[in-house]
Amino acid sequence: MAEFMTETAERSAVVPRPGTSGERAGRSGDGAAGPLDGQEAAALLERTRALVDPELRAAFASLPGSMRRVALYHFGWQHADGTPAAGNAGKAIRPALVLAAATALGGPAARAAAVRAAAAVELVHNFTLLHDDVMDRDTARRHRPTAWTVFGDPDAILAGDALQALALRMLAEDPHPAAVPAASRLAACVVELCAGQHTDTDLESRAPDDVTLDEVLVMAEAKTGALIGCACAVGALYAGAGDEEVAALDGFGRQAGLAFQLIDDVIGIWGDPRNTGKPAGADLAARKKSLPVVAALTSGTPAATELADLYAKPHHGQDAEAAAEIARTAQAVERAGGRDWAQAEAADRMARAVQELARAVPDPEAAGGLLALAEFVTRRSS
């Protein structure tokens, strides 16, 4: 285990800023992720889409037409008019983690058995995206208009509900002995996700100086870490793992998921819209109390006071003056230390994730797929 900790800590120590060369740096022993890591993760994600997409398409075929068209549009497989599209269905990170965890603990046979469960996890993830877009009034996802902007709120919400139901039905009809505990874990995860989303929306209505960093970290673990941890745990269940291994993989996923959310929040402020598919500064315009923002607000610096004043005023408009105001807000977050804190905290959470993973999978080679995926999501720019 000591060898595992040394090797993986070196690989996970640095989380570069989006847009820097660190995203594609070599695996050279300097702590940067390497092309082998990126290539390994890309291959895992591509293989996951090839395995999971047929399961998803078959599940969509059972939906009523009104909900099916929204689901197919959301996944990028149809245009709004119902004609076929070859769009972006997402990176498939969560189903890839299911399959990687099953492989790490049970080999190829466990991976093959877990494909339906991986599809179920992807359905739950997309159920949350459909609902989040409605609640957050986000107008773009995956480089195209969000479902609610095309079909309206009711259709988008109902399609999300249908995806959640499909996920649980897929597990209910799976004869594998792990299907029942996996369904139970996934259902509990959905409750946690809803609680996290409720906290998130509640925080948005509170004054900038009335939100603590601990609150936002707990909320982020519930909203993001819970499903990533659940994905890893479901994979472990399908490999026949014991309770301690399942718990350790859940812990790995939760910590890696929190690192993911930290980087996602950084990208939400400083990411390039050409990569993210979302308008520049959308989170700041919505006055979201993301992790870098709250870290900045609670820093006690002059920039924190400036940021609180900016956040106390609603953002309006799409003109040059509005864009300049967003730029000033982003600069205030950075000067107050929010960006640096988020980068450092993401690296720390990845180190904790490595510790959890070592408990369940002591062999670094067997854990390679899980590590490659975790490194991929914390070193991305979109």
Domain ranges of the chain: 2-377
End-to-end, the C-alpha distance of the chain in Å comes to 33
pLDDT at residue 144, as a whole number: 92
CB atoms within 10 A of CB 287: 17
Model pLDDT for residues 291-300, shown as the tens digit of each residue: 999 999 999 9
CA pair distance 162, 181, nearest whole angstrom: 21
Give the mean pLDDT of 259-268.
92
> pLDDT, tens digit, for every residue of 253-263?
999 999 999 99
Q: What is the mean pLDDT of residues 10-39?
A: 42
Lowest-confidence range among 177-191, 257-271, 276-290, 360-374? 276-290
- Could you tell me if 291 and 249 are in contact, meaning their C-beta atoms sit under 8 angstroms apart? no
Query: What is the percent of the chain where pLDDT is above 70?
Result: 88
Cα–Cα distance measured from residue 283 to residue 39, given in angstroms and rounded to the nearest whole number: 30
Q: Who has greater pLDDT, 68 or 8? A: 68
Phi, psi (deg, nearest 5) at residue 65: -55, -40
Q: pTM of the entire structure?
A: 0.87
User: Which residue type sits at 265?
Assistant: D
pLDDT bucket at 88, cuts 50 / 70 / 90: confident
Q: Return the CATH fold of 2-377.
A: Farnesyl Diphosphate Synthase (1.10.600)
Percent of residues, the chain, with pLDDT higher than 90: 73
How many Å apart are CA 96 and CA 232, to the nearest integer? 9
Q: How confident is the model at residue 280 (pLDDT cuts 50, 70, 90)?
A: low
Write the CB contacts of 370 (distance below 8 Å, at least 6 apart in sequence).
97, 100, 101, 104, 232, 252, 357, 361
Where does the pLDDT of residue 381 fall: very low under 50, low under 70, confident under 90, or very high at 90 and above? low
